[in-house]
């Protein structure tokens, strides 16, 4: 709670938190704001925006409500982005913690695994994985997490290597604390905050990756996404520009909000360090 208050206390953090809070509310209440299936036909094809009260953003080339697509796409993008980031952070923290605390051959083996995943660009890894395993939401989450966990793992290892030699850790060993107690009571709470500052970058990258996969047609066809909406709009980009503009603006707003919140978290963590 202290970190959250400090984050909101920064200008960037307050703006980012406001944007993300609004997007989360839209995602949670998407079925209330735009009831029914967003993939259903709602009106004449290619209805321009702001010409019909029941279709404020117009319709796409099949006559589907564009506002309903943008609103329900918010739920898809945020759920996939947050789930992928949570999986990547959890796995990366565990690997980095194990490598940094164990040292020796365990550290060497785990770091070579990290190097192997960092060699391949995250988007290409996700693209290959989805192409082979399918395009369901769970597969996309796993695919994005596979390309994002190496960064948190490497940073977590560096933090653990620095912390495990400090005096309070040595004091814990002297009084008879076991390895698990040292890890979870002394090392992890102090090593985790800098790693958490990466979460905003990972969430933003995950949402962009999901949109890119959807744009290429590698997403669940029964779920509306911003990427698939922009992909459909590119075929009529000159005559119906709004089909790509509105989901693109939603994607841009989301990424900016996450970036600003991440900047606020970084500043809050910096203020909390000694001597800052």
| CATH number of the domain that residue 136 is part of | 1.10.3720.10
Provide the pLDDT for residue 208: 92
Residue 143 domain-assigned (yes or no): yes
Q: Which of 57, 21, 31 is nearest to 42 (CA)?
A: 57
- Residue 67 sits at the vertex; the CA angle it makes with 249 and 16, to the nearest 5 degrees, is 40
Task: Decide: pTM greater than 0.85.
Answer: yes
Q: What share of the chain in percent tops pLDDT 70?
A: 94
Q: How confident is the model at residue 271 (pLDDT cuts 50, 70, 90)?
A: low
Residue 4 domain-assigned (yes or no): no
Q: How many domains are there within the chain?
A: 1
Provide the pLDDT for residue 220: 82
Q: What is the mean pLDDT of residues 231-246?
A: 89
Residue 94 domain-assigned (yes or no): yes
Q: Which of 74, 80, 189 is nearest to 126 (CA)?
A: 80
Cα distances from 252 to residues 74, 121, 208, in angstroms, run 12, 22, 9
- Domain limits for position 237: 78-259
Alpha carbons 217 and 23: distance in angstroms, whole number: 24
Helix (H, G, I), strand (E, B) or coil at 54: coil
Count CA atoms closer than 13 A to 260's CA, side-chain side.
20
Cα distances from 266 to residues 4, 95, 233, 252, in angstroms, run 11, 23, 37, 21
Provide the pLDDT for residue 151: 92
Residue 16 domain-assigned (yes or no): no
138-187 pLDDT, tens digit each = 999 999 999 899 999 999 999 999 888 888 888 888 888 788 888 888 88
Contact status, residue 86 vs residue 79, Cβ threshold 8 Å: no
Residue 55 domain-assigned (yes or no): no
Residue 25 domain-assigned (yes or no): no
Q: Which residues on adjacent β-strands are paired with residue 221? A: none
Residue 108 domain-assigned (yes or no): yes
CB atoms within 10 A of CB 37: 15
Residue 171 domain-assigned (yes or no): yes
Tell me which of 5-14, 29-38, 184-193 is least confident. 5-14
Q: Tell me which DSSP letter residue 36 carries.
A: S
Average pLDDT, the chain: 88
Contact status, residue 93 vs residue 104, Cβ threshold 8 Å: no
Q: Which residues on adjacent β-strands are paired with residue 64? A: 41
């Amino acid at each position: 709670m202290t970190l959250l208050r400090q984050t909101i206390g920064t200008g960037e953090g307050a703006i980012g938190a406001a944007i993300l809070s609004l997007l989360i509310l839209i995602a949670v209440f998407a079925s209330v704001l735009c009831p029914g299936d967003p993939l259903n036909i709602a009106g004449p094809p290619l209805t321009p925006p702001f010409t019909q009260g029941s279709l404020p953003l117009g319709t796409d080339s099949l006559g589907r409500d564009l506002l309903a697509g943008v609103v329900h796409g918010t739920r898809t993008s945020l759920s996939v982005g947050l789930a992928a980031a949570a999986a990547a952070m959890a796995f990366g923290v565990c690997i980095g913690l194990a490598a940094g605390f164990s040292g020796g051959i365990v550290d060497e083996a785990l770091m070579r695994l990290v190097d192997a995943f960092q060699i391949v660009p995250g988007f290409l890894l996700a693209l290959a994985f989805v192409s082979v395993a399918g395009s369901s939401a769970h597969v996309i989450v796993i695919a994005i997490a596979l390309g994002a966990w190496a960064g948190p793992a490497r940073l977590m290892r560096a933090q653990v290597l620095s912390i495990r030699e400090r005096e309070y850790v040595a004091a814990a060993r002297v009084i008879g604390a076991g390895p698990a107690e040292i890890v979870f009571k002394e090392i992890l709470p102090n090593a985790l905050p800098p790693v958490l500052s990466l979460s905003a970058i990972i969430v933003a990258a995950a949402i962009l990756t999901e949109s890119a996969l959807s744009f290429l047609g590698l997403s669940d066809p029964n779920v509306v996404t911003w990427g698939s909406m922009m992909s459909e709009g590119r075929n009529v980009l000159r005559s119906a520009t709004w089909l790509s503009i509105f989901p693109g603006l939603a994607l841009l707003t989301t990424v900016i909000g996450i970036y600003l919140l991440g900047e606020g978290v970084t500043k809050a963590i910096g203020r909390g360090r000694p001597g800052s």
